[in-house]
Amino acid sequence: MPVARLADRATLLVTGEPAEHFLQTLVTADLDSLAEGEMRPSALLTPQGKILFEFLIGRVPGGFRLDVAKPAVEAFSKRLALYRLRTKVAIEPGNEPVYAVWDEDVAAALRDQRFPDPVWRVYGAAPEGVEHCEPADFERLRIRAGIAESDTDYRGSEVFPHDVLLDQNGGVSFKKGCFVGQEVVSRMQHRGTARRRLMLVEADGHLTPGVNIEAGGRTIGTVLSASGCDGFALIRIDKLADALVADAELTADGVSVTATVPPWAGFALPEPVAAGTKADAAGDAE
């Protein structure tokens, strides 16, 4: 089984008797249903509903482990401390190596719930009897699965959870009640106003992160990350639907591409709108 140490990831431990209630009122995932043995995607949002910090969360004795991009650890810890006030929880760095394992089940590992196929997280000592791989091997797997991460694929405060499919993989609960930014993302969910979506893209040549996806000379999205000819992009799905109906070629930096919904995601492209009747999206759908 392949394993890669993820040097760009780090952990925070949030412990203490009130830890679950404290985090449940802040983050997007529902911790009441969080089972032992799993790491679930989640996020801390701005009051305007955009992702400030995105992470994996799982249970540890006496609290929770938060698996986050290493450059964001200090800022994330400080933000949690601001919300803590007099709540008696400890927020401390985990100081443990982070490993990703895939292709086979692993004893004592934690299932990474973002992936449809078995992918695991291991913290501390590396599992024995495994094939050690480069982090780039895991990045290739992650990109081809359409799993976006903050600080790697997008910057904080720039995207909504719906944009990067946290509403599709259990990263956002629309039933648990209030959390920071809840009103905005719930309105997007119930009104169906999410128009930007992460989609898999495949090119006839090399894909470069940051280049625009164009259809008929009109920009409809941006490539976030890529590995060779495969990648994923943040795309205006209403504009994509219109382009497909018009049989317009999709290109990225002049290279022909195809765009598809990740197989594990449950959203569909909207019905195309007749020419001359559609206004550009505004407000919380931008």
Report the range of poorest mean pLDDT among 75-79, 176-180, 230-234, 280-284: 280-284
Whole-number Å distance between alpha carbons of 43 and 30? 11
Per-chain mean pLDDT for the chain: 92
Pick the closest to residue 41 from 188, 187, 142 (CA basis). 142
Q: Assess whether pLDDT exceeds 80 at residue 202.
A: yes
* Predicted TM-score (pTM) of this structure: 0.92
Tell me what the mean pLDDT of segment 63-87 comes to: 96
Sign of CA dihedral 212, 55, 113, 180: negative
Indicate the SS3 state at residue 130. Answer: coil
Lowest mean pLDDT among 1-15, 54-68, 122-136, 165-179: 122-136
pLDDT, mean of residues 10-17: 98
- Show the tokens assigned to 246: 């018009």
pLDDT in tens, 248-283: 999 999 999 999 999 999 899 888 765 544 444 444
pLDDT at res. 132: 87
For residues 72 and 156, the answer to whether their CB atoms sit within 8 Å is yes
Kindly state the tokens that stand for 81. Answer: 């401390």
